[in-house]
Structure 1
Amino acid sequence: MSAIVEDNDRTGSVLQGPVLAIAAPLSMLIFLEFFIFGAWFATLGLVLATHGLDGIIASAYLLSALAAILSPLLLGAIGDRYLPPRTVLAIAHLAGSAFMALVPAAVNAGNGNLTLVLIFAYMLCFQPTLGLVNAYSLTVLGQRQSIFPYIRFFGLIGWVVAGLGVGSMGLSASTDIFYVNAIAGLVMAVYAMTLKRTPPPAAGARFSIGDLVGVKAFVLFRERSFTVLMVCALMTSISLGVYNSFVSPYLAVLGISNVAGVLAVGQASEAIFVVTIPFALARLGMKWALFAGMVMWGVRFTLFIAASHGGIAFAIGGVALHGICNDYFIVIAAMYLARVAPQDLAAQAQGWLILMVSGFGQAIGSALSGQIYALSVAPNQAVGAAAWTPLWFVPIGLAVVTAIVWTLFFRPVSSTATAE
Structure 2
Amino acid sequence: MNIKLRLTILNFLELFVFGAWLISLGGYLGGQLHFEGIQIGKIFTTLGIASLVMPGIVGIIADKYLNAQKLLGILHIIGAGFMFFLAQTKDFDTFFWMMLGYLTVYMPTLGLVNTVSYSILTSNKLDIIKVFPKIRVWGTIGFIVAEVAVGTLGWAQNNMQFYFAMGISLLMGIYAFTIPNVPLSKSENKSLIQRLGLDAFVLFKEYKMAVFFIFATLLGVVLQISNAWASEFLRSFTADYPNSFAVTNSNTIIALSQVSETLFILTIPFFLKRFGIKTVMIMSMLAWFLRFGLFGVAAPEGIGLGYLIMSMVVYGAAFDFFNISGSLFIETETDSKYRGSAQGLFVLLTNGVGAVLGGMGSGFVVQHFTTETGRDWLSIWLVFAAYALILAIVFRLIFKYKHNPEVIKEIKH
Q: TM-score, normalised by structure 1?
A: 0.87
CA deviations 1:116-157 (Å, max 9, x no partner) are 111110000000001111122122222511122221111111
Match of 1:6 in 2: none
Give the match for residue 101 of structure 2. 121
Indicate if the aligned counterparts of 2:59 and 2:112 stay in contact, CA closer than 8 A: no
Corresponding residue number in structure 2 for 1:268: 259
- Cα distance in 1 for residues equivalent to 2:112 and 2:360: 27
**Inter-CA distance 23–338: structure 2 relative to 1 (3 Å threshold):** farther
CA contact (8 A) 2:151 2:249 kept: yes
Corresponding residue of 2:157: 173
Q: Which has the higher helix share?
A: 1
Taking a change above 3 Å as real, the CA distance of residues 222 and 207 of structure 1, as seen in their structure-2 partners, is closer
* One of 207, 210, 213 as aligned partner of 1:227: 210
Give secondary structure in 2 for the equivalent of 1:412: coil
Cα distance between partner residues in 2 of 1:376 and 1:34: 33
Match of 1:396 among 368, 385, 399: 385
Spell out the pairing of 1:201-350 with structure 2 (5 A cutoff).
201=185, 208-255=191-238, 256-307=247-298, 311-350=304-343
Q: State the distance in 1 between where 2:187 and 2:276 align.
A: 43
CA-CA distance at 1:287 after TM superposition = 1.5
- 1: CA distance between counterparts of 2:300 and 2:180? 54
Take 1:379 and 1:308, find their aligned partners in 2: how far apart are those partners? 22
TM-aligned CA deviation for residue 340 of structure 1: 2.1
Deviations 1:377-416 (A, max 9, x none): 25440xx6xx1233223322222222123212223378x9
Gaps of 5+ in 2: 239-246, 408-413
* Contact residue 297 and residue 378 of structure 2 kept, 8 A: no
Indicate the SS of the match to 1:43: helix
**Secondary structure of 1:54's match?**
coil
Letter aligned with residue 286 of structure 1: I
Matched, 1:352 2:345: yes
Decide which moves more: 222-231 or 26-35. 222-231
Distance in structure 1 (CA, Å) of the matches to 2:196 and 2:141: 31
Contact 1:27 1:154 in 2 (8 A): yes
Q: Distance in 2 between matches of 1:209 and 1:45?
A: 33
Q: 2:111: which partner in 1? A: 131
- Which amino acid counterpart does residue 265 of structure 1 have in structure 2? L
Distance of 1:358 and 1:302 partners within structure 2: 23
Aligned CA RMSD, in angstroms, stands at 2.3
> Does the 8 A contact of 1:232 with 1:405 survive in 2?
no
Deviation per CA, 1:281-306, whole angstroms, max 9, x where unpaired? 12212211121112110111100111
Q: Please tell me whether the aligned partners of residues 93 and 125 of structure 1 are also in contact (alpha carbons under 8 angstroms).
A: yes
| 8 Å Cα contact 1:251-1:315 kept in structure 2 | no
Aligned AA for 1:41? Answer: L
String of CA shifts for 1:277-329, please: whole Å, max 9, x gaps. 11111221221112111211011110011116971331232123221111111
The worse-fitting range, judged by mean Cα deviation, of 128-137 and 209-218 is: 209-218
Aligned residues: 390
Tell me, in whole angstroms, the C-alpha distance in 2 between the residues paired with 1:47 and 1:141: 39
Q: Does 1:69 align with 2:48?
A: no
One-letter identity of the residue aligned with 2:321: Y
Q: Aligned equivalents of 1:275 and 1:40: distance in 2?
A: 27
Q: Contact 2:53–2:196 (CA<8 Å) still a contact in 1?
A: no
Quote how far apart the aligned CAs of 1:112 are: 1.6
Residue by residue over 1:360-386, the C-alpha shift from the partner in whole angstroms, topping out at 9 and shown as x without a partner, is 1111011011112222225440xx6xx
Q: Is the 8 A contact 1:75 1:128 kept in 2?
A: yes
In the alignment, is residue 411 of structure 1 matched against residue 400 of structure 2? yes
